[in-house]
Structure 1
Amino acid sequence: MYLAIDDTDNLESRGTGRLAREIAGELSKRYGIFGVTRHQLYVHESIPFTSHNSCAVIHVEDRHQAEMDDIFDTAKDLMLSDFVEGSDPGIAIASSHQVTYGVTAFGIDAKKIVLNQDRARKVAKNAGIRLEGLGGTEGGVIGAVAGIGLAAIKNDGRFLLKGGNRDLTGVLNVRDILCAGIDHIMTLDGRVLTDGNIDVGKSKTPSFVQGKAVLFVDECDGRLVALKRD
């Protein structure tokens, strides 16, 4: 199940990613959380955004419809309590079987072209996806629908939260990093690492690759350093 949010901030407030992690923390008290992913959308002068035009998706273990409503309402309440002037938040939720080709295509297009609310709302309606704008122009509905389409591909973006990845710091052994919830550690040329040390620094957000959290690393001054890749 995918719960997506977008356009929740302004230049002075905390970002969408931090809010998504807070929502995930609240939901984790009652539901299983696979992780939170960030998806980069198209950057264009005609698209309003705060810094990078990205959306966030909370991956929740599949639930029954009644539980989907509770998940949506919980997130909605948190977003409304955190609303800041100048933001145009949107929220959407979908089970995996609701993610049609149209939803996926919308997500892919959102990385390449300028889209509008009308198409976002029609795509969501045709797929049976619950979608709401929560203030301002409600422009965040575009990123919310796009986020669901991209998250469902399982091959886009990176994890803002996966297991204990936020607690990783400094130089760590590969085995300790894997135990924190990272699925694989890999060099840019495709070599999978099972031992050794990695300097995770601030780049401890693994990429979302084929449904797995993959931390990419590269050699720098004779040591392996984690990379941040969208």
Structure 2
Amino acid sequence: MNYKDYYIAIDDTDNLTSIGTGEVAENLGNLLNKFGFGTPTPVTRHQLFFNDAIAYTSHNSAMCFELKGCEKDQKELICICSSYLKDNCAKGSDPGLCIVEKNFSDRDELINFGRDAKCRVLTKEDAYSLAQKKNIHLSEHGGLGIGIIGALAGVGLRMSGNDGRYKGQFKVAVNQDNMLVKDLLSHERIDSIQDKNGYALGENEEVFVTEKVKTVRLRNQSVLLVEKVNNEKGFVWKNIDKKSLKEY
């Protein structure tokens, strides 16, 4: 079998009363899995530029996941994703879809597009021009279609390996407690534990963890970020709270 892996990103699928784009992305991944298109990875949220010239629902963020082990033709994959967005995007939204093979080699311009989308205003023409140049699937599925900008940027940022927060919090402890790094690393959604300076904790170090944690994407891994805090036991490692992760 000729299996392929893909990056799939969407943007601007919601309105203020609908489910969010992250949930739409998760549901799409589950649908693809159900119909034998491959196995989806957890969704990452990529923060884009805040500016009055950009229309967004609330946070201006794109969502991306990887689809692993797809043996279907890419045209079939595009068709089912497009059909899903047509049927499930919210009224008044401007959805965009981007699909790129994971082994895509000419990455620099796509990654730079994603980084530019975090700090300046880009246009649909910018997005289509790059997609056509690199033979990347990029399509709009309602409204003004401006979601193609974020969808293309989302793939570039996920591809960079050093951007984004993984969607959702997950439980690692029954109550707030100290846990050994090696035990935390046994969780399927934690690949590494480090501080903001890049120090990776040893497997026998302890971390004071809250009941639920959230990870970020660094070096193509799902990373639990920690910081030193002072409590009644002295200085200890503690997972960084959700609010402090907004820079990722």
TM-score strictly above 0.5? yes
Which residue of structure 1 lines up, in the alignment, with residue 18 of structure 2? Answer: 13
One-letter amino acid of the counterpart of residue 214, structure 1: V
Measured after TM superposition, the shift of residue 78 of structure 1 is 2.4
* Residue-by-residue CA offset, 1:154-203 (whole Å, 9 max, x unaligned): 11112226xxx63446536344432222101113344433243432455x
Distance in 2 between residues matched to 1:142 and 1:69, nearest whole Å: 21
Measured after TM superposition, the shift of residue 103 of structure 1 is 1.6
Measured after TM superposition, the shift of residue 51 of structure 1 is 1.2
One-letter amino acid of the counterpart of residue 206, structure 1: T
Aligned partner (choices 111, 116, 140) of residue 118 of structure 2: 111
In structure 1, the residue corresponding to 2:42 is in which secondary structure? strand
Distance in 1 between residues matched to 2:198 and 2:210, nearest whole Å: 18
Which residue of structure 2 lines up, in the alignment, with residue 150 of structure 1? Answer: 157
In structure 2, the residue corresponding to 1:198 is in which secondary structure? strand
Size of the aligned set, in residue pairs, is: 225
Q: TM-score, normalization: structure 1?
A: 0.86
- Seen in structure 2, the aligned counterparts of structure 1 residues 78 and 156 have a Cα distance that, compared at 3 Å, is same
Contact kept in structure 2, 1:201 and 1:226, CA below 8 Å: no
Q: TM-score, normalization: structure 2?
A: 0.81
Distance in 1 between residues matched to 2:214 and 2:153, nearest whole Å: 21
One-letter amino acid of the counterpart of residue 14, structure 1: I
Distance in 2 between residues matched to 1:149 and 1:11, nearest whole Å: 26
Distance in 2 between residues matched to 1:99 and 1:9, nearest whole Å: 31
Which residue of structure 2 lines up, in the alignment, with residue 78 of structure 1? Answer: 84
Distance in 2 between residues matched to 1:187 and 1:119, nearest whole Å: 36
One-letter amino acid of the counterpart of residue 100, structure 2: A
1:3 aligns with 2:19: no
Q: Which runs of 5+ in 1 are unaligned?
A: none
Distance in 1 between residues matched to 2:78 and 2:186, nearest whole Å: 31
Aligned partner (choices 186, 191, 202) of residue 183 of structure 1: 191
1:214 aligns with 2:234: no
Contact kept in structure 2, 1:98 and 1:129, CA below 8 Å: no
Which residue of structure 1 lines up, in the alignment, with residue 3 of structure 2? Answer: none
Distance in 2 between residues matched to 1:205 and 1:23, nearest whole Å: 22
Which residue of structure 2 lines up, in the alignment, with residue 69 of structure 1? Answer: 75
Which residue of structure 2 lines up, in the alignment, with residue 102 of structure 1? Answer: 109
In structure 2, the residue corresponding to 1:61 is in which secondary structure? strand
1:35 aligns with 2:39: no
* Residue-by-residue CA offset, 1:112-163 (whole Å, 9 max, x unaligned): 11010011111111111111111111010000111111111111112226xx
Distance in 2 between residues matched to 1:218 and 1:152, nearest whole Å: 27
Distance in 2 between residues matched to 1:74 and 1:134, nearest whole Å: 12
Distance in 1 between residues matched to 2:98 and 2:121, nearest whole Å: 19
Measured after TM superposition, the shift of residue 98 of structure 1 is 5.8
Distance in 2 between residues matched to 1:115 and 1:207, nearest whole Å: 25
1:57 aligns with 2:61: no
Aligned partner (choices 28, 37, 43) of residue 23 of structure 1: 28
In structure 1, the residue corresponding to 2:43 is in which secondary structure? strand
- Seen in structure 2, the aligned counterparts of structure 1 residues 221 and 106 have a Cα distance that, compared at 3 Å, is same
- Seen in structure 2, the aligned counterparts of structure 1 residues 45 and 213 have a Cα distance that, compared at 3 Å, is same
In structure 2, the residue corresponding to 1:4 is in which secondary structure? strand
